[in-house]
Structures are given as structure tokens and as C-alpha cells.
Structure 1
Amino acid sequence: MKQYKQFPQKKFNPIFKKKKNLPKIKPGLDYNLKKIFSSIGIPETQPFKPDPFQIKALSIIENSDCLVTAPTGAGKTWIASEAIGRILKKGGKAWYASPLKALTNSKYIEFSDIFGPENVGILTGDRKEKPEAQIIVGTTEILRNQLYDAMSEGQDIDSNFVILDEAHYLGDIDRGVVWEEVMIYLPPRVPLLMLSATIGNARQIASWLTLIRKRQCIVVDEKKRPVPLFPLFFHPSGTIMPLLSGNKSSGQIYKKVKDFLNNKNNLSLSLPGRLPPFGDILKVLKKYNLLPAIFFLKSRADCDNALNMCEKNLNNDPDKKNHIIQIIENICLHVPHIRKHRQIRHLEQLAVGAHHSGQLPAWKLLIESLMNKGLLDAVFATSTVAAGVNFPARTIVFLNSDRYNGIEFKSLTPTEFHQMTGRAGRRGMDKIGFATAIPGKYMDIKKVSKLINAEPEDVTSQIKINFSMTLNLLLSHTSDQIEELLERSFAAYLLDNGKNSEGHEYLKNDFSRHYRFLIETGYVSQNGQLTEDGIWASQLRVDQPLLIAEGFRKGIFPEDDPNLMAAIIASFVNERETNDRLDKEIVPNKLQKCFKHVTKNLKPFQSLMFERGFGLHPFYIMPAFTMFLWAGEFHSWEKVVAISGMAEGDLAMLILRTADNLRHIIALKNVFPKAAEAALQAVEKILRDPVINLY
């Protein structure tokens, strides 16, 4: 004991030593920011005057296709609405396609206000309202499916004008194929207006479209942001500095920031593995009028945990608090479950919220509504909020220079970075927007400084052959005609220009591989025509069309039980590796028997697919069990979430995708009436509070 007393305890405490490097945050402002910060505020209201690029695009679309690339919030939707108005005056019809259901719903409301609700319809997987209206707003997949139907019936699509919003989705690894198909299949007589974030090879895309559509496509490229962006650095002491030196276009890091980065003993905002003190950071941002802010964090858990660190950010404005409560109550009228949400208190008392894919659609809509109305000081979000969701802020805050892409963490690309910074600065509400970098373990300041002025990336083709595409094209084309169609793809164009004939042949070979398998399995005849089974299977425009079709051919689906139908289809929808270690005593015997019956009977077909080089879809009983419980109303939502082991948002997505697959089965009512009726009842059972359509 005497030996121990000779050494003070604090010398042995590593946590204590680290705490010495944690500063007390005090608001401070670098003197070089005073002029910039003096411009913070709300711009004077002025009569709307379209920008030159908007006028130019409207002029072009009268006689040509047009690809508009411009920063977020630059006013691309105005071009679309003006062009739609002109079509309506001529008695024509317009189709507005967007990548996200949430965005589609908001455009439906917006266009209904502009053109009258009687003139606007909506088509998504969840909604089908006024499909004969002069203006249709829908998801790009629905537009693609309408083009399939028109081609198979030998008809023309019932539209005189098509708008593809977020056209840079052409390069999306999962869904880009749908955008490319629309561009290839759309009749040249229909003018095409594409609205996109800034992309590097816009003129290359336009050249390809001009070639395949025999109709000139002209690019309108606007680089100017509607609200100027200024990059900042948040020093751990609480002092805000410029991130870049005087001429920010040079990309040179500000000297004081450079000195900080070069100091091996520099201060840190948090201990390793801990989040920074967001309450103190908000205090600094509030002092310098930099709120509201969006904080981009690494994970869902970080977004949720950040809220508890904002206890000092009390909402002391009674009017603001009452407005928040009123909006919450309005959403709770449709989705009562929201009242139980553990983060309600943070909204009402602290004016902060979290937004990520692990949350219910209704909750995310609530956060977006509050942010758009300027009622929240901060939202803590994952990077998914940057793409396609419209709730800007005065300031966006970066804590990492990488993002999770669903598989691994990768460095931010210029496109991803610009999508995030595009949320900084609200048109009509801000004179200037700010992008603030906070130093930390996952923040590479040098990399971020280069991204600020980085040129946008090129969009590449993501077209890939699948069985749904093959079946639908064979409805209206011969195999030779389809090969000619594939030669018109953006992939073929890029490869031809790159003088890589081997890559060009890959698409043809892959189509031939799918085509041969469909012949082998009886969905296509030897002469290249769809068989009866092939015709109805082509209507299954889902991820696993052949497996589901084979289930119908074998008569193994539970056509007399909507709960079981929902459960089995959920196992086709599920793409997550799932822990299937379930106590058999808690899984109803009829579900076990049904699941075993379906998977056992499909196993030979799956094995054949695998032998022929096609992917193997694993079946798990856990998602089926989860959906069975939910469809049968055996437990509360909270209990089903707990049993599933999934986040609320993930379970909601599984339910919504299952409902979408069931709708495709409903469409087969002339061939499989009992199954279609079971699917219809299943959709009604699973789409209820808190997983319902709010609009």
C-alpha cells in the first residue's frame, strides 16, 4: 500500500490524461469572417424573375429534347411546371417521373395546387389516383412499365411530354437501368426533358440520346448556386474559421486550419469512440446565426444518440413549440403510433430531430415538414437525406469525409459531397449558406477542401439484363430486334466510343443467356415467342419474377390464406442475411409447413438457375414469420419490431416492398383468381398504422 501511495492516481488514469485535451468550448469568430457573417440574413422579397438558363431550357424543349443540369435548389422544377402548362394549353398530356415515392407525393401536391387537383393524377406502387388525368406524376418504374405495356400491345404511350427528374439516377448502380430503359423505349415523337444535378458528361449523354432518338438533345448547364456557399472550419475551442484561404476557388486551406492539422498535439472535440458535445456546438452556431443546421453523421445510432447530447438547446419559444405540437398532432391523426415515438420530446422541448432510413416513413415526413417550416434548430441525418429529399438548412455540418454505401465505408465522391452541400442555403430565406467541417477521427480536412471545387463525376451506364426485362421485351420484339435495341444502350455507346467491342458483346451474350434459360424452362417457345406462362410471368415486374412464376406453375402458394400469402412473398422480397435461429415452438405449425413446402418445391428450379450461372436467392423464415405476425394482427407493432430484430424503418420497407410484390400478383387475377384475391386481402392487412400512406 505504501508503494501505491507514492504515485498519485491521476498519473495512471488514461481517461484523465485524454480529458486534458478536451477543451471547454467558447464561441469565437475568426476576424476574417466578420465581413462574410455580416451578410447572413433573409434576402428581400422580390418579384420572381426566371434565370436565363430557365428561359433557355423552355425555348429548347419546344423543338428538341433538353437535359438541364443545375445545382440543388436552382429552380429546375419551375422549368418543368412552365413546360407542362404549355402542353396543357395545347390539350396534351404530360408525365413527370421521379425516383422516390416521397418526392413523387410532394410533386403531386405541388402540381395539384398549380394546375388544379382535377388535372393531376399519381401513380406509384402505393397510390393510383386519376390515371387518366392530363398530368401524371409517378415513379420512374411505373413509367417504364407503361412503356412495356404500350410496346406489348402495339400502341403508343398516352403522353405528349415526359419529364425525368433526378436524371443523374441513370448512373445509379441499383436503379439506373430503369432510367436507361425509359430513354431507349420512349417514342421519339415525345419530347423529353431531363432535370439533373450537375454531372460531368452531360454532353456525352445528350449525344447518345440524339443518336438513338433521332431528335436533337441540347444541354443547358447552370453552375451558379442560387445561394452562395461558404466553407467553414469548427475549431475544437469553439472558434469558427474559414476553411479555405481568401480565394476559396484556389482550394488552399486557411493558414490557421493548416497549423491545427500540422500540430500533433492538437485539441479534440471528443474522446475516441465518443460523439462530440453537440449541445455546445449548437450554442456556438446559434450565437453566430448559423441555424438551422443539418449534421451528417456516420450511422443511424449516432443520429439517435446525438439528440441526447442537445439537452442545453432548450426550445423557449412558446409559439414555435405550439406550432411543432400542432404539426405532430396533424400527422398523428393519420398515424397514431407516432405519438409513442421516443424522440417526440426532442422535437418539442429541444427543437432537434434525427432522420435516417431506420425510421418510419411517417416520422421522416414529420421531420421534413418541421424543417421546411423552419421549426427545428438541427437535424442529425445520415447521408441518405442528401439525395432526393428537399429540406435545406442555413448550414450543413460534416463530421466524416466518407459515407456508408450499404456495404462498406468509402470516401465521399464529388457528386455525393455536392448533394450534401446543396442543402446549405435556403432560396428566399438565406443570402448565404455554409458548409462546416468538424475535425475528428473520420474527417480528412484536406480531402474535403479538394471536394469543394471538384468537378462533377461522369455518369456511366448501369444497364443489366434481367428476366423481367427479357420477358417484357419478348412480348413485342423478336430476339434479333432486342439485340438491336441493346446496341442503342448507353453502355454500347460508351463502349463503341471507347473502341471496346468485347464489352459491347457482353450485353448481347447476357441477353442470350437469359433467353436460352427461358426457352429451357418453358417460358419462351423454340421460335422465340412467349408461351402462355411467359405472357403472364411478364407481368411480374419484381425482383424474383421467375421464382414467383415457378411457384404459381407448381401451385405451391397458399391461395386460401392471405396471412400466409404475405409471409411467403416477404421471403422473396427479403434481401438481408437473416438469423434464422428461431424456436420452432413459437412459429405456427402451418407457417412452418407452408414455408417448407414452398422452398422444397422451388429447390430444383433454384438449383437449375444456379447451374446456368444465375444468382441464388436465399430463403429465410424470419421475415416470413415477421410478416405473418403483422398480417394476422397477432401482436402490436412494437412487439413485431422486437421479434423481427429490425429497425422500424427496415421493417416498414419490407412491408411496403411486400405489398408492391403482392400488387403484381393481384394483376394476375384473370389467370390466378384465388391467389389474386388472397394477395388483395394481404395488402389490406399489412398496410395499416404505422405503415400507411399519409397523403
Structure 2
Amino acid sequence: MTESSRGPQLEAFAAQLSFPLDPFQVQSCAALEDGHGVLVCAPTGAGKTVVGEFAVHLALETGGKCFYTTPIKALSNQKFNDLTKRYGAGLVGLLTGDQSINSDAPVVVMTTEVLRNMIYASSSALRGLSFVVMDEVHFLADRFRGAVWEEVILHLPEDVRLVSLSATVSNAEEFGAWMETVRGNTTIVVDETRPVPLWQHILVGRRMFDLFDTKAQATSPSARLVIDQELVRHLKQRHALDRHSAWEQRGRGRPGQRGNFRPAPRPEVIARLDEEGLLPAITFIFSRAGCDAALAQCVRSKLDLTAPEQLDEITSIIERHTGELPRADLEVLGYWEWREALERGIATHHAGMLPAFRHTVEELFVKGLVRAVFATETLALGINMPARTVVLEKLVKYNGETHADLTPGEYTQLTGRAGRRGIDIEGHAVVLWTPELDANEVAGLASTRTYPLRSSFRPGYNMSINLIDRMGAAESRALLERSFAQFQADRSVVGLVRGIERNTAALAELREQLGGDDGEYLEYAELRERLKNRERALEREGRVDRRGAATESLNALRRGDVIAIPVGRRSGLAVILEAATDQADPRPLVLTEDKWAGRISSADFNFPAEALGRMRLPKHVDHRTARSRRDLASALRSTGIVAPHGRRSSKRSPAAEDRELATLRRAVRAHPCHTAPNREQFSRVGERYSKLARETESMRQKVAATTNSLARTFDRILALLGERGYIADGKVTEDGRRLRRIYSESDLLVSECLRQGQWRGLAPAELAAVVSAVVYESRSETGYPIVGGPTGPIRHALAETMQIWTGIRADEVRHKLPLTREPDFGFVTAIYNWARGEPLVDALVAAGDHGKALSAGDFVRWCRQVIDLLDQVHDTADDPQLRSAAVKAVKAIRRGVVAVDAA
């Protein structure tokens, strides 16, 4: 775009900046001034937010309003501070759920959820709105919160211009085409140029190698990336030495190890980067414990990255952020160790830290007073903490379910932090070598540019009830069909339809080879296919029967029964600690002879579970403590009960008695083609035909399932809500209006508990404890599903809450809907103690996971979520006592470290 195409507002805006605008910024801003919406996709640090700031400028100059939305509160706070410095406190407001500052200002920064809630509430603040900036719009791919972005995009008034800022995605054109469909005229601007070039390295021991052949790139930038040959030679030598060392170990009668490899200590890695002039650096370690261990390792060493004259400024910043923390809590917060590390220029950054600590680290890092940070990947999300270098210790991380390799998109997001615009002439990404690391794998991650954006939009209870109330069922279905999720699904259908057409043509050719539609070989092939299908169906039926028998037997087990788990990692003896509560999907809580405690299901049994004996249990069993698990496991082993081996179900297989199967087998054997000399040749053609026919039918079913899939889910939700009285005759009832205002992952469960009065009569601290069960989620696999609590009213309310959840789950299974998450009681005692004024250390220990105290950052985060839901209880409950208890509970929780964070 030429300079002459700049409009007067863009000229005026650019004149206020201390740097020249890049071409993509000029193109985006000019499109905005011309009345278009824009979608801007550019790398981290490229300056996308300048386009959002221009929307703010346009709103102020034209007398309109601009909402600037971000995915997380920390980003909202950061943007609020930036805009306040530029435009003054009177023109800029902030709304983040727990903070409301100058909310009537013409420019308001907020989290995306806040805007979604305002839209559903038909807030008067939406009047006069001319621009909405959606920072990090690629968050709509987030499987937990992504739907919020699409809800906003679909619901915003047509005259509001949308400024969507996204990381680089490979399907920007697809996303832009959808935006054009639902928002009208939208200009798509894609820029893949990093403002600061990024160099890729591998650190082998203390030797730093370039990943790619930089000489080849220098002479021909467009040439294909080639791995540096010096690195290849060195790694070959290293592997040869490793093998030789392993052989020597075996020759001496010792087990051979892979070169006895020991990774370089973290202090040595940081010192090496310092020697190369590559600090400040962020080292990504994909676990909080790993980050804390790295920091402790550095503190124990002599590593010191700060100058004496910097200490006063470091101390001042620390005091400003943490001066209001209660002195009695400093020890349990690890304050003194954390402070010593900061004074030496080293820090961690992860979600388990106290927010006040995290904000201190961010400010010190930006000012260059902290030069080495060990962080989890949460830092890569938008927080303004660029570094000269990013270090990756591993290319594998735990994704919540399993350990998985980093994707190219994740690698790019993490290494995108390297290179500070206006400070560094180049950024550096360093991967630490281990014997398992393949240089080609790193090269693939560093050079791949395919990370598509996939929608996570799905209708839920709150969304559906809001849609019905705003526009009725027919218009709601139409809106769902306009979602990006359905847009992508419909595009996938196009490929499936083409595949069906190709397969249909291929099937016609194969039929001709089998003698045509009336040919004997085609008849024989179809007969054999029917036989295979019947065998598969009977095999499935047998599995279902076995699963049903196992389910029935699990429901019959009682506390103290000793059973044998026949298969899987947990096989062996186990004692029932808590009987199953869900008849449809029984999951009794057990303790195994190997000291593992958790829930088992019918999937763990290939025959019915049977009580082999009984064991006396203490009245209260705390399976969360290692000592309790050890003592119980020892008692279980000493019972003398022995797990049976090699048992099989005595019930005959369904196939053995099936008449249809026997008839088909006789028909196949009696068919003329069965004894024909060229049977095998035609059978192979027949198998290809049958396989292709199955694939084609599967594709047809996928097309049928994909078309209008969101609308079908919506209809199932409406059916369930209708049965429960939230909708009647197509209209939202009084109970439905309550559900409209509950924004929680367990929205229907909360609404039912309020409607049925199960939380009435609770004291403030008790209410906080019970409410925590529907927001808290343990980090451990097993969670804390035992109904318990420090007082009788808490235990009663939790039991009633569980009963309501069981009923909702049964309805969801019947309607084929996603299941509401089971309540988790791991935070009950902790929040109860805290709300009653007990010390922080007691609350952290009470919320601990298997003997390990909860981190202060997690504690504050869960307290904030409990406060948020208590606020919703106050706003939606009918009972005055319950509303009053909610207010008092919020006040009781918001003290100490929680109050400092909320300030």
C-alpha cells in the first residue's frame, strides 16, 4: 500500500508514534479508516496491537466507543495501563470480572467473557459501540473457552467494526472467508515476516551449533533450509562415542548406558548463554516443579547476573508489588528464597506463583533487571516479556492427557518470544541436545508453517438458553449454522462428497470385474461380506454383554469388599473405599495392594467383579495421604486373600448359538464360486470391492452426521432443558432466566442446586466450601470425589449436589450430550478454613495433592473462581439468606494474599 493511500486519521495517528509503520500495519489501518473490518495475522512481536490502537484512535476522534478485549486478565491489565498512559485515565476503563474502573469511558479494556456476558444481558453500554478489538482471536481454538470468541463475533451488531488480531495461522484465508460471511466487508492482512530475524541453534554440552547452514542461507535466502554439516558431524561422533562407551560398560559386566549422558547443569547453560551475549533468556520447562527446581539449582550455584548498582531498583520494585502481603505469610510463600533469586537476576514464571510475585518478575524482566527466567508455556500467551533468547530443554510436553511432541505451532509460539523489537538485531532459539534428540525433528519444527485454526464452538446450556431468549429456536439454529465450526464442517463435507463420487466410480469398475450386477462372483463377495459383518456384530454383542455384567457387578460392591482387578496397570487385589454412586457408569473408589488409590470402571474388567472377601476399614479413610495408603495396602496384603489367575467367563459366546451365522456359513460353503478354480483371484477383487463399499458407506454417514451437526446438538439441549422446565412452549421460563445469568462450566448443575434449594441455610464459609466443588479441578488424575467436609451442613449439601449431578449426567447420556464434569471436593476444606480466617499455611496444606501443599498462585486462582461464582449466586438466587451468605463469603475470602491480588 502506498503512502498516498493513507487517510487523514492514519496520518495523524502515525505522527504520534515514535517509529515508522510497517506495510502490513499501514494496510490494516487504512482498511479500517475506509470502513472495513480487518483480520490481521502476524508473528509474535510484529506489532499487531498497533492496528488495535488505531481503532481506539478512530473511536475517540469520531465520538464513538471502542472495546478492547483480551483472553486473560493479565493482558487486559497490561493493555489498560498502556492506553491510560497514552490517552489519560478519564478516557480509558477496565472490566475484568473482578475489577471495574471507569466502565462508562469511551474506551474500555475487558476480557472477552465480559463482552459476551454484556451482549447476552443486552447491556446499555453497547449503545454507541463502533469498534471491538479482539486480541489473540486465535484463542477460539481453545477447547475450553474458545466458544466465547465465536459467540461475540456472531452476536455483535452489524454496524460494529471488528479488529481481529491473530498469531500466524496457515488457514487465515478460510477464517477470513468466514468472517466476511458473518461480519460483512473484512480485509484479510497476513504478514509472515518476523520484525527481528530468528536464528536457530542446538547446544550440545557447552558447544553451540547453528541448526541450519547459515552460509547457504546468506548466499541464497530462498534456498531450502539445510541442517548445518558441522552439527551433523559432531552428533555422529558423539553417538559413536556413546556406543563405544556402552560396549565398554558391558565388557566390564555393567549394564550399558547410552553414553552415560548427563545434561549440563542449568547454571552452566545460563553462564554459557551469558558468554555468548545471549541474555536475557527465557528457558521453557513444561512443568512448574521443573521451573522451581531449575531456579533452586541456580540459587545453590554461584550464578549472579546483576550488578551491585541494580539492587536498589530491584528492591524497590519488589517492595512495591509485595509490600501489602501479610508478614506472617512470607515464609510459607517462599518469599525470601524468591527475593534472593531476583536479586541475582534469576526467576521463575508460571501459573502456580502468587500473582504479585509473577507481576514483579514481569516488570523486572522488561527492565532488564532479571536476565534468566524459567517458565512454563503460559508465558508464551501474550504477556509482554520478550527476550533475546528462548531455550527449550525438551520438545515434549504434557498436554493434560498424555506426553506429546510439540507441534510446529507451539514451537513457533514459544520461540516467537526471542528477539526484542527496537533492542535486538536478531533473536535466538536454542534447543538443548540429549541423545534422544533428532536434529531433523528440530529442523522440521523450525521450518514448518502449517498450524491451522480449528473452531472449538459447541452449544452449551447457558449459550442455548440465551439464544432462545434472544431470538427463538429457528433463528438460533440459523445462527449456529453460521458459526466457524459449521463453516469448517461444511467445507470438510465437500471433500467427503468428492471422495464418495470417486469411490462410486471405482465400485462400478470392480463390479464389472466380478461379472456385473447379476454376476455370481459379486453375489459370492456380498455373501462373504454379510458373514463378516455378522461375525463382527456378534463379537461386539459379546463385548457389550461382558461390559454389562461387569457394570452390574460393580454396582453390587460395598465398602470393605476385596476384589481382584484382572487387567491393566492396576491388576491385582484392591479394597473398595467407597461404593459406586452412578448406576449407569459405576466407578467405585479403590485402593490397590500397590498403594494406588483411584476410581475403577467396567473397562478394567473382562468378567464380572466378585467380592473375594471383606476387610475392616477405619471409619474415616484419607486416601490422599501416602501414610494412609501405605498402611491400608499393607493391611490388604496381610488378609491372606489371593487374586485368582486365568479366569474366564463361563458364559458361551453369542456366535456359538447364532442361527443366522450358521446359515451364512453354510450358504458360503454351498455357493458355486466357493469351489471354483479361480476363486482366490476373484475373492481378492471381491475383498477390495467390499472394503471400498464399507469406506464409502462410512463417508456417507460422516456427511450425514456433519451436516447441521451443531443444530442437532442444540435441539438435544433444548429437549433436556424442556424436560427440566427451563423452556416451555418455546419460551424461556423463570428458571431459564436464572440459567441465562450463570456462566460456569457446570452451569446447569449450579442452576439446579439453586432451584432445588440445596445450598440454602449454609453459613458463609460453608457456602464457599460447597460452591468450590463445582469450580475446582484437582491437578491429579483421580481428583477428590469423596463426599466429605468439615461440618454436617457441608457434607449434606455436597451429597445433595452429587445427587443432582448424577441425575443431570443420566439425562445427558440419554440425550447423547457432552457430560457435565463431576464435582471435585479437593478445595472444600481449604476454602472453608480460609473463609473462617485461618492462616494461609493451613489452607494450602488442606488443598494439597497427595501430601503436597497447593501452590499460593493456584490457591489465589481458585479463590477468585469461587468468588466469581458466589457473585453469580448472589445475583441469581431467590432466597435472601442465600444471597446474604454469598456476599459475606466473598468478603471473607477476599483477604490476605487474595485481597492483594485483587487490588
The interval holding the TM-score normalised by the smaller chain is 0.7 to 0.9
Deviations, residues 190-215 of structure 1 (Å, cap 9, x unaligned): 101011111111111111111122x2
Match of 2:559? none
Q: Secondary structure at the match of 1:665?
A: helix
Q: Structure 2 CA distance, aligned partners of 1:623 and 1:616?
A: 19
Deviations, residues 456-503 of structure 1 (Å, cap 9, x unaligned): 411111111110101111111111111111111112212222324531
Contact 1:95/1:135 (<8 A) preserved: yes
Pair 1:325-2:315 in alignment: yes
Aligned 1:231-246 pairs, distance under 5 A: 231-236=200-205, 238-246=206-214
Match of 2:620? none
Instruction: Give the deviation of 1:328 after TM superposition.
Output: 0.9
Between the two proteins, the alignment pairs up a number of residues equal to 641
Q: Structure 2 CA distance, aligned partners of 1:452 and 1:607?
A: 47
Pair 1:563-2:765 in alignment: yes
Instruction: Give the deviation of 1:157 after TM superposition.
Output: 5.0
One of 122, 138, 142 as aligned partner of 2:94? 122
Pair 1:261-2:231 in alignment: no
Percent identity for Structure 1 against Structure 2: 32
Contact 1:360/1:691 (<8 A) preserved: no
Pair 1:490-2:484 in alignment: yes
Q: Structure 2 CA distance, aligned partners of 1:454 and 1:345?
A: 40
Instruction: Give the deviation of 1:265 after TM superposition.
Output: 4.0
Instruction: Give the deviation of 1:441 after TM superposition.
Output: 5.4
Match of 1:477? 471
Match of 1:39? none
Match of 1:194? 164
> What TM-score do the two structures reach when normalised by structure 2?
0.68
Match of 2:174? 204
Q: Structure 1 CA distance, aligned partners of 2:89 and 2:187?
A: 32
Match of 1:378? 372
Pair 1:660-2:868 in alignment: yes
Pair 1:49-2:20 in alignment: yes
Q: Secondary structure at the match of 2:895?
A: coil
Gap regions ≥5 residues in structure 2: 1-16, 218-222, 246-257, 495-702, 849-853
Contact 1:297/1:382 (<8 A) preserved: yes
Instruction: Quickly say closer, same or farther: Cα 1:686–1:256, change in 2 above 3 A.
Output: same
Match of 2:293? 305
Structure of larger gyration radius: 2
Match of 1:431? 425
Instruction: Quickly say closer, same or farther: Cα 1:626–1:612, change in 2 above 3 A.
Output: farther
Aligned 1:140-155 pairs, distance under 5 A: 140-150=112-122
Q: Structure 2 CA distance, aligned partners of 1:149 and 1:331?
A: 36
Deviations, residues 523-572 of structure 1 (Å, cap 9, x unaligned): 000x2100111112211111111111111111111455211111111001
Q: Structure 2 CA distance, aligned partners of 1:157 and 1:673?
A: 33
Letter of the 1:259 partner, please give it: R
One of 396, 408, 432 as aligned partner of 1:414? 408
Q: Structure 1 CA distance, aligned partners of 2:18 and 2:826?
A: 57
Instruction: Quickly say closer, same or farther: Cα 1:449–1:275, change in 2 above 3 A.
Output: same
Letter of the 2:869 partner, please give it: N
Pair 1:540-2:540 in alignment: no
Aligned 1:144-543 pairs, distance under 5 A: 144-150=116-122, 157-213=127-183, 215-236=184-205, 238-246=206-214, 247-248=216-217, 250-263=224-237, 264-265=239-240, 276-310=264-298, 311-315=301-305, 317-336=307-326, 339-340=330-331, 341-342=333-334, 343-440=337-434, 443-498=437-492, 499=494, 500=703, 502-525=705-728, 527-543=729-745
Letter of the 1:521 partner, please give it: R
Letter of the 2:116 partner, please give it: R
Match of 1:6? none
Letter of the 1:49 partner, please give it: P
Match of 1:592? 795
Letter of the 1:428 partner, please give it: G
Q: Secondary structure at the match of 2:705?
A: helix
Q: Structure 2 CA distance, aligned partners of 1:289 and 1:156?
A: 50
Q: Secondary structure at the match of 1:478?
A: helix
Q: Structure 2 CA distance, aligned partners of 1:531 and 1:193?
A: 36
Q: Structure 1 CA distance, aligned partners of 2:20 and 2:75?
A: 25
Contact 1:361/1:691 (<8 A) preserved: no
Instruction: Quickly say closer, same or farther: Cα 1:601–1:345, change in 2 above 3 A.
Output: closer
Instruction: Quickly say closer, same or farther: Cα 1:322–1:304, change in 2 above 3 A.
Output: same
Relative contact order: is structure 1 or structure 2 higher (C-alpha 8 Å, sep ≥ 6)? 1
Match of 1:33? none
Q: Which ranges of 4 or more aligned residues in structure 1 deviate by more than 6 Å? A: 270-274, 581-584
Gap regions ≥5 residues in structure 1: 1-45
Q: Secondary structure at the match of 2:748?
A: helix
Match of 2:509? none
Q: Structure 2 CA distance, aligned partners of 1:447 and 1:662?
A: 48
Q: Structure 2 CA distance, aligned partners of 1:639 and 1:593?
A: 24
Instruction: Give the deviation of 1:513 after TM superposition.
Output: 0.5
Match of 2:57? 85
> What TM-score do the two structures reach when normalised by structure 1?
0.87
Match of 2:692? none
Letter of the 1:133 partner, please give it: A
Q: Structure 2 CA distance, aligned partners of 1:271 and 1:557?
A: 62
Instruction: Give the deviation of 1:442 after TM superposition.
Output: 6.1
Instruction: Quickly say closer, same or farther: Cα 1:198–1:624, change in 2 above 3 A.
Output: same
Contact 1:234/1:241 (<8 A) preserved: yes
Q: Structure 2 CA distance, aligned partners of 1:502 and 1:290?
A: 53
Q: Structure 1 CA distance, aligned partners of 2:872 and 2:260?
A: 50
Alpha-carbon RMSD: 2.5
Instruction: Quickly say closer, same or farther: Cα 1:299–1:66, change in 2 above 3 A.
Output: same
Instruction: Quickly say closer, same or farther: Cα 1:158–1:685, change in 2 above 3 A.
Output: farther
